[in-house]
Chain A
Amino acid sequence: MSVLVGADTRLVVQGITGSEGTFHTLRNRAYGTSVVGGVTPGKGGQDVEGIPVFDTVADAVDATGANTSMIFVPPRFAADAILEAADAGVALTVCITEGIPVRDMAAVHAYLAGTQTTLVGPNCPGVISPGVANVGIIPGEVCTPGRVGFVSRSGTLVYQIVHELSSAGIGQSTCIGMGGDPVHGVGFIESLRLFEADPDTDLIIMTGEIGGDDEERAAAFIAEHVSKPVVAYIAGFEAPPGKRMGHAGAIVTGSAGTAAAKAEALEAAGVAVGRTPSQVARIAAEPLPR
């Protein structure tokens, strides 16, 4: 079992004919994901290594029964692509694109609230359920099937910690890269809710970073609603205020959004917070408390 993506996933890729789109689509298919179609306006009727290309997401859904989309279109068109996917009725859309104007994302966020579509991202590495389906750019090689649910704002920290877990023989149910933008889809709380309900997840790892209050709100949610053990890691203790650290959302604003405040909130909610990525993997490797 898994969350968000799995054996039932039927994937359509928006922006399939771009170089990144093609590269990762084929990797996802090689991993075992059921890739049923792609979309590039004006290129309907073509195919990419046997994957049919459509002009619109609606056409692709009609023809293939796609239930999930993955977006690789450039930032100035990506918000529109998310709206198109939602309008076509896909249950899940995963937006990899980095650099979307936040004004556009705020409008998308408001619109999606009235639809049945779940968004992951943007500016994210995607979602993988090891051994079953990979939707995005997380290198499948570092993952192993198992029972740890993983959610992270940073992509490379997923790879780093998952690699250490896999090396220690600990597999993962699903790894969610929620992305580093200030306005985004699935966050810690939605991920925690999914993993708490997933019978095949025993332990949850979340990795956060400076900026915003997603981690603080996650801590409050864990205290109230999560019975499974949670291990956390927060990056950015050394980040100076007012400087954007790579990700659009990774910035300490005044005294808000510091790593120390986030770690403290999580610890107060009973979460074990590792000091380094390696320590997180070691904590997760310990026998589960009963």
Chain B
Amino acid sequence: MDLYEHMGKDLFRAHGIATPRGIVAETPDEAAAATDQLGGSSVVKVQVQVGGRGKGGGVALCRSADEASDAAARMLGSDFKGRAVTRVLVEELLPIALEFYTSVLLDRSVGEYLWMLTAEGGMDIETLARDRPEALRRVHVNPGLGLRPWHLRSLTGLLPTNARDGAAQVLRAMWSVVDEADATLVEINPLVQLEDGSVVALDAKVTVDDNALFRHPEIEALEAAFPVDPVEKRAKDADLQYVKLDGSVGIIGNGAGLVMSTLDVVAQAGGRAANFLDIGGGASAEKMATSLQVILSDPSVRCVFINIFGGITRCDVVANGILEALGQVEATVPIVVRLDGTNAEDGRRILTEAAHPRIVPVATMDAAAEEAARLAAAAA
């Protein structure tokens, strides 16, 4: 779960990282009032779950409440990189002396946490790593041992002497965000040293492990603030793994790998998937009905491709489930069904004998993908 900047900063402050004073605003008037409260000037920042806000016009320096109101009106009225903007963060302007960068993230290649720090703020980190690796400190933190004093000495050694203690304090607090709040990414870009020498997080990018939300109800509750797609919500409530894509072939399959593979095979056949939907084990009539409702509610769907491999779940049971689901849901487009695995022939026979006007049974995955792509193109 990717947190908004202001949520990340709340988490930072709870763990002892200094941040600018800030107020969340949902209207231009609130942004103006916040700016007055902060002393008559502010930085107004778009709150979205995507990066690149500085270059993309998502950050405005405002010298008056009116300017803040205008900036907020512009931001709140538009999408930012395709994401709806429902709130902005209004922050105090601070006297910045130096800008740094630091991040810690789970490095899945080695199962450890990779920490990076550079004294050069504002640089693209991948470019810096390639062109001037000596300007970037990297250490791996063993998850069993945690952050050690030598890690801190190594990382902060790149910074001016009078910034090292302040930065080390920030790094220790970042580790507690990882260790106690289950963050898989904590990035501060920029981390700044103010003219008085103190070290402050000017930005906050935090990703929290979805699998760990059960032990952080206060973080899970933040999800209510994110814009929700009604279709994605319906799928989630039914425990279906659903991701909206931009093609016209609706996909239902069992198992994440098989569904990903189905998207690819449809693309090779000249079609484009409208979604990823993993119905999971079992593929019961009830789940099938909800899946079809979810997919058919997408107006761009011209054809549905149900791709099921029967393992422990037998294909005859799946076939009956599909027919039962179609008793509950009105199919408005053709439905190509491919069943393989345990009792596949029984399943196919059940579908053929039912002779449902919308169902097109096809024996193999490749042929079914071709048929689904053809039907979607014919209906376009």
What residues of chain A have their CB less than 8 Å away from a CB belonging to chain B? 27, 75-76, 99-107, 109-111, 137-139, 141-142, 152-157, 159-160, 163, 180, 182-183, 207, 209-210, 212-214, 217, 233, 235-240, 243-250, 259, 275-278
Q: Are B108 and A248 in contact (CB under 8 A)?
A: no
Q: Are B209 and A102 in contact (CB under 8 A)?
A: yes
Contacts of A163 in B (CB 8 A): 309, 340-341
* B54 interface residue per 8 A CB criterion: no
Contacts of B266 in A (CB 8 A): 238
21 examples of A-B residue contacts, CB within 8 angstroms: A101-B182, A101-B211, A102-B106, A102-B211, A106-B111, A106-B143, A111-B144, A139-B312, A153-B257, A156-B258, A235-B260, A235-B261, A238-B267, A245-B243, A245-B256, A246-B260, A248-B210, A248-B211, A249-B108, A276-B265, A277-B365
* B364 interface residue per 8 A CB criterion: yes
Q: A101-B212, A154-B257 are in contact. Are A276 and B263 (CB under 8 A)?
A: no
Q: Contacting B255 at CB < 8 Å: which of A27, A102, A154, A240?
A: A154
Q: Are A157 and B257 in contact (CB under 8 A)?
A: yes
Which single residue of chain A is at the shortest CB-CB distance from B257? A154
What 9 pairs between A and B have smallest CB-CB spacing? A154-B257, A246-B256, A156-B255, A101-B212, A106-B143, A110-B144, A139-B311, A156-B258, A109-B111
Which single residue of chain A is at the shortest CB-CB distance from B2? A242
Q: Are B259 and A246 in contact (CB under 8 A)?
A: yes
Q: Mark B250-290, 1 if CB is under 8 A from A, else 0.
A: 00011111111101111110001100101000000000000
Contacts of A110 in B (CB 8 A): 111-112, 142-145
Size bin of chain B's contact surface: 35 or more
**CA A99 – CA B213 in complex, angstroms?**
10
> B253 CB to closest chain A CB, in angstroms?
8
Q: Contacting B245 at CB < 8 Å: which of A153, A238, A246, A247?
A: A238
Q: Are A235 and B264 in contact (CB under 8 A)?
A: yes
* B179 interface residue per 8 A CB criterion: yes
* B189 interface residue per 8 A CB criterion: no
Q: In residues 129-171 of chain B, which contact A (Cβ within 8 Å)? A: 142-145
**CA A210 – CA B256 in complex, angstroms?**
11
> A96 CB to closest chain B CB, in angstroms?
12
> A112 CB to closest chain B CB, in angstroms?
10
**CA A250 – CA B278 in complex, angstroms?**
13
**CA A214 – CA B111 in complex, angstroms?**
12
Q: Known pairs A100-B211, A237-B267; list 8 more (Cβ under 8 Å).
A: A110-B145, A138-B311, A157-B255, A159-B255, A159-B309, A163-B309, A163-B340, A278-B364
Q: A238-B267, A278-B364 are in contact. Are A106 and B309 (CB under 8 A)?
A: no
Q: Are A103 and B108 in contact (CB under 8 A)?
A: no
Q: Mark B211-231, 1 if CB is under 8 A from A, else 0.
A: 110110000000000000000
Contacts of A250 in B (CB 8 A): 256, 260
Contacts of B182 in A (CB 8 A): 101-103
Q: Contacting A103 at CB < 8 Å: which of B143, B241, B260, B273?
A: B143
Main secondary structure of the interface of B (DSSP, over half): mixed
**CA A213 – CA B178 in complex, angstroms?**
22
> B298 CB to closest chain A CB, in angstroms?
16
Which single residue of chain A is at the shortest CB-CB distance from B276? A245
* B127 interface residue per 8 A CB criterion: no
Which single residue of chain B is at the shortest CB-CB distance from A110? B144
Contacts of B342 in A (CB 8 A): 139, 141-142
Contacts of A156 in B (CB 8 A): 253-258, 309, 311
* B366 interface residue per 8 A CB criterion: yes
Q: Contacting B108 at CB < 8 Å: which of A142, A183, A237, A259?
A: A183
> B106 CB to closest chain A CB, in angstroms?
6
Contacts of B260 in A (CB 8 A): 154, 209-210, 235-236, 238-239, 245-246, 250
Q: Contacting A246 at CB < 8 Å: which of B145, B211, B276?
A: B276
Contacts of A217 in B (CB 8 A): 109
Contacts of B263 in A (CB 8 A): 236-239
Q: Mark B182-209, 1 if CB is under 8 A from A, else 0.
A: 1010000000000000000000000001
Which single residue of chain A is at the shortest CB-CB distance from B144? A110
> A29 CB to closest chain B CB, in angstroms?
15
> A83 CB to closest chain B CB, in angstroms?
11
Q: Are B255 and A103 in contact (CB under 8 A)?
A: no
Contacts of A159 in B (CB 8 A): 255, 309, 311, 341
B111, B210, B267, B366 pick with most chain A CB within 10 angstroms:
B111
* B113 interface residue per 8 A CB criterion: yes
Q: Contacting A278 at CB < 8 Å: which of B109, B254, B312, B366?
A: B366
> B256 CB to closest chain A CB, in angstroms?
3
> A209 CB to closest chain B CB, in angstroms?
6
Contacts of A107 in B (CB 8 A): 143-144
Q: Are A103 and B257 in contact (CB under 8 A)?
A: no
> B281 CB to closest chain A CB, in angstroms?
9
> B364 CB to closest chain A CB, in angstroms?
7
**CA A153 – CA B261 in complex, angstroms?**
13
Contacts of B261 in A (CB 8 A): 154, 157, 160, 233, 235, 276-277
Contacts of A278 in B (CB 8 A): 364-366
> B266 CB to closest chain A CB, in angstroms?
8
Q: Are A106 and B113 in contact (CB under 8 A)?
A: yes
Q: Are A152 and B257 in contact (CB under 8 A)?
A: yes
Which single residue of chain A is at the shortest CB-CB distance from B311? A139
**CA A106 – CA B254 in complex, angstroms?**
28
**CA A35 – CA B210 in complex, angstroms?**
34
**CA A160 – CA B261 in complex, angstroms?**
11
**CA A276 – CA B178 in complex, angstroms?**
39
> A103 CB to closest chain B CB, in angstroms?
5
